[in-house]
Amino acid sequence: MDREIESAPKAPEPAIEETGDVGTGGDRIRCPYCKWSPAAHDRWTCDCRHSWNTFDTGGVCPKCLLQWMHTQCPNCLQWSAHSAWYPQD
């Protein structure tokens, strides 16, 4: 009785390829003007003087809940729509 057909679980092996091809990915938040990309430690300051990473909250100050429709780039100092920072097709 050799009906021991094992249905081996075929786990898809994640192909981890380090191509060093950074920059073509679609989900980087960037300044629409200079393409500067914010890091986790970057901070923006609200009118209420609270400072936080505005991209953590989609432009909403966690302290006073003000929705920032525009975000200033700390690199080129241009203001642009918060939504324009997110990748779009």
What are the residues binding Zn ion (CB under 5 A)?
Answer: 31, 33-34, 36, 46, 48, 50, 61, 63-64, 66, 73, 75-76
Phi first, then psi: give them for residue 85, nearest 5 degrees.
Answer: -75, -20
Residue whose CB is less far from Zn ion, 3 or 32: 32
CA distance 6 to 37: 49
Give the residue carrying structure tokens 């430690």: 41
Residue with Cβ nearer Zn ion (25 or 36) = 36
Work out how close the CB of 57 gets to Zn ion at its nearest, in angstroms, rounded to a whole number: 10
d(CA 14, CA 63): 40
Question: Would you say 27 or 38 has its CB closer to Zn ion?
Answer: 38
